[in-house]
């Protein structure tokens, strides 16, 4: 089964999956609730089903508390906070991250602290506090480097670079971080992280006034996200690629991007640019 087909299966079974989480929670089958939340988190994050995401992870928080498992509690609260951040429910996100941080400290598990730092960075980024965001991501990066988590290291290089690029801060450092993220992601066969890093690399090169150098990473990212059934990230790549087409007067590329974006906007419910 391809990654896109797997995502389509989750989509088709979405109502049944949340029903199973509810049933497991009603029966206090806490291990099952936590396992389902972990499995569903990438799907909810990728497809932006915020209502299901919030419901499932609230049940996950309750299951972790009942199980007296601070690592699971930190993860559930952290993942719940990410939904609140995307919905701009900042007070709710802050409350969950504070509780997640307390649980992570109680657990003494470095990975738990690293993911909370990452989400604190995501919250700062959503508020356009780029320097603060970059600092949080740097903290998470240091933890992942210390414990030898290569995927975590690639992710935090990508996140810190994203904050630097969006803030127009230290673009040279951002490009170096992205090249490191791409190299590591390719070594561990993490196509999703590689594609995310490629999107930010394309954005950095556009900001630097080098649209021709942005074309390849953005094309690669759009193709990867299409293969993996990730329409939101594919849209990000294609919108930047459309900018490349406009800056380089590439009519065929502009038409190709417009056609695919129109289909994706219809699929996701995102309004067409006005």
Quick: pLDDT tens for 162-179: 999 999 999 999 999 999
pLDDT at 267 over 90: no
Q: Please state the pTM of the whole predicted model.
A: 0.90
Question: What was the pLDDT predicted at 70?
Answer: 97
Instruction: Compute the distance between CA of residue 31 and CA of residue 66 in angstroms, rounded to an integer.
Output: 10
Instruction: Compute the distance between CA of residue 61 and CA of residue 67 in angstroms, rounded to an integer.
Output: 10
Question: What was the pLDDT predicted at 274?
Answer: 44
**Domains (ranges, CATH) in the chain?**
1-108 (1.25.40)
Radius of gyration of the chain (CA): 19
Quick: pLDDT tens for 200-249: 999 999 999 999 999 999 999 999 999 999 999 999 999 999 999 999 99
Question: What was the pLDDT predicted at 3?
Answer: 81
Q: Which comes out higher in pLDDT, residue 203 or 8?
A: 203
Instruction: Compute the distance between CA of residue 264 and CA of residue 19 in angstroms, rounded to an integer.
Output: 28
Q: Is 109 helix (H, G, I), strand (E, B) or coil?
A: coil
Instruction: Compute the distance between CA of residue 156 and CA of residue 146 in angstroms, rounded to an integer.
Output: 13
Quick: pLDDT tens for 68-78: 999 999 999 99
Instruction: Compute the distance between CA of residue 98 and CA of residue 200 in angstroms, rounded to an integer.
Output: 29
Quick: pLDDT tens for 25-34: 999 999 999 9
């Amino acid at each position: 089964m391809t990654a896109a087909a797997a995502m389509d299966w989750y989509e088709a079974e979405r109502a049944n999956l949340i029903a199973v989480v509810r049933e497991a929670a009603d029966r206090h089958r806490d291990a099952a609730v936590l396992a389902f939340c972990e499995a569903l988190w990438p799907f909810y994050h990728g497809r932006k089903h915020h209502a299901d995401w919030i419901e499932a992870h609230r049940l996950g928080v309750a299951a972790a508390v009942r199980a007296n498992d601070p690592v699971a509690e930190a993860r559930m609260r952290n993942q719940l906070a990410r939904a609140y951040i995307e919905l701009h429910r900042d007070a709710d996100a802050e409350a969950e991250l504070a509780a997640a941080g307390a649980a992570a400290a109680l657990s003494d598990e470095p990975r738990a602290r690293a993911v909370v730092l990452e989400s604190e960075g995501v919250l700062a980024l959503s508020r356009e506090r780029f320097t603060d965001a970059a600092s949080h991501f740097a903290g998470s990066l240091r933890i992942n480097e210390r414990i030898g988590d290569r995927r975590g290291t690639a992710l935090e290089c990508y996140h810190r670079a994203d904050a630097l690029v969006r803030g127009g801060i230290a673009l040279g450092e951002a490009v170096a971080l992205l090249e490191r993220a791409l190299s590591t992601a390719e070594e561990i066969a993490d196509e999703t992280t590689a594609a995310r890093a490629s999107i930010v690399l394309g954005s950095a090169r556009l900001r630097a006034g080098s649209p021709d150098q942005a074309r390849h990473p953005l094309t690669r990212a759009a193709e990867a996200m299409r293969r993996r059934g990730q329409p939101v990230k594919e849209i990000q790549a294609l919108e930047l690629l459309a900018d490349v087409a406009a800056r380089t007067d590439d009519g065929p590329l502009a038409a190709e991007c417009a056609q695919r974006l129109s289909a994706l906007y219809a699929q996701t419910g995102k309004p067409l640019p006005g």
